[in-house]
Amino acid sequence: MKQSLSAALLIAPTLLVLAVVIGYPITRAMWLSFHDDKALDPVTGMFTESGFAGFDHYIYWLTQRCMTASGEVGACPSGVIASDFWPAVRITIFFAVVTVALETVLGFWMATVMNKEFRGRGLLRAAVLVPWAIPTAVTAKLWQFIFAPRGIVNSLLGTDIGWTTDPWAARTAVIVADVWKTTPFMALLILAGLQMIPRGVYEAARVDGASTWQMFRSITLPLVKPALMVAVLFRTLDALRMYDLPVILVSASSNAPTATISQLVVEDMRQGHFNSASALSTLVFLFIFAVAFVMVKFLGADVAGATRRTSTARPQVKHSLPSGPSVVELKG
């Protein structure tokens, strides 16, 4: 009982800080989402405080229903930001699925290479961090020059593709830039998982005549899965809130071919609809929370380390193999 009380006192300041930094903004956004935006009083010419709106803002985004000049509710006309909601949702999911899939494959390959012993391994691991360390705004401008009409890509391919104007070319440009920047992040997380696999397991498999593919399928993939799923979880959540890369690389417009949900939130705030934007940000939060819950609960993203605790609770084998290093070593 005394130890539990001491532990509670130790984590209380952290929980208090989290409640202020995370809990208050979420609660405030939800509260604002149920109130109307400030409106201009035609008599006084002043902005008046809004009243309770209920779920009107959520219905506005999810169904694209707007108030007409006659006071009736109908479909939002083209040009209203709500009409871009579902296209932005599809683009956001598309970016998340494609980029995370490519980054996982490339990151796994890079981690496998960096996990081998060779001269200059430490230099390679440090160099891999360079794209990840570059700010996203700088990355976007860099790739904007590369994908310019007379940029490097068109010069090498001998084409005249509008990489920032054609819808699918613009999406391809965003995917390439995002994969280039964030693949090293995936590689280092997966490398940390690979280094936890005991070398003796591979040696025993070789003695038994296992091929490289059999060792990868039966040893590497199952043992690295916890670290791999955590990396996929982090990157998926990061991709779902993508904002600055498509804005700087292509366009900040809400109807751009690369517009994501986060762009709609910012654009709605720029138009002065803070409460409506709060409703949209709440929808984004609930969507990302649902994705994280599914990945943790059903897809094996072991964020809390439950798998490791379970494995350590099992009886130890008498001649157990030594475990590898638990962190990524930057020195070769």
**Cβ atoms 292, 237 nearer than 8 A:** yes
Q: How many residues does the chain have?
A: 332
What's the pLDDT score for residue 323?
Answer: 43
Burial state string for 129-145 with b = 16 or more CB within 10 A and e = fewer than 16: eebbeeebeebbebbbe
Query: In terms of Cα–Cα distance, which of 256, 262, 255, 267 is closest to 239?
Result: 262
Q: What does the mean pLDDT of the chain come to?
A: 83
Helix (H) or strand (E) holding 239: helix 221-240
What is residue 73's DSSP assignment?
E
Q: Predicted confidence band at 56 (pLDDT cuts at 50, 70, 90)?
A: confident
Q: What are the distances in angstroms from CA 112 to CA 160, 167, 300? A: 37, 35, 22
Per-residue pLDDT, averaged over 49-58, amounts to 82
Q: Give residue-wise pLDDT tens across range 198-227.
A: 888 888 988 888 888 888 888 889 899 888
Q: Give residue-wise pLDDT tens across range 156-170.
A: 988 888 898 899 999
- The token pair at 97 is 């699925």
Which ranges in the chain are annotated with CATH 1.10.3720.10? 83-312
**Cβ atoms 235, 103 nearer than 8 A:** yes
Can you tell me whether residue 160 is helix, strand or coil?
coil
Beta carbons within 10 angstroms of residue 212's beta carbon: 11
- The token pair at 129 is 């961090």
CATH superfamily of the 83-312 domain: MetI-like (1.10.3720.10)
DSSP per-residue letters across 78-105:
TTSGGGGHHHHHHHHHHHHHHHHHHHHH
Residue 5 CA to its chain's centroid (Å):
37
Q: Give residue-wise pLDDT tens across range 112-141.
A: 988 888 888 888 888 888 999 899 999 999
Can you tell me whether residue 298 is helix, strand or coil?
coil
Residue 16 CA to its chain's centroid (Å):
26
Residue 279, pLDDT > 80, answer: yes
Helix residue ranges per DSSP H, 134-209: 136-146, 152-157, 167-194, 199-207
Burial state string for 313-328 with b = 16 or more CB within 10 A and e = fewer than 16: eeeeeeeeeeeeeeeb
The identity of residue 46, as a single letter, is M
What's the pLDDT score for residue 25?
Answer: 87
Q: Predicted confidence band at 307 (pLDDT cuts at 50, 70, 90)?
A: low
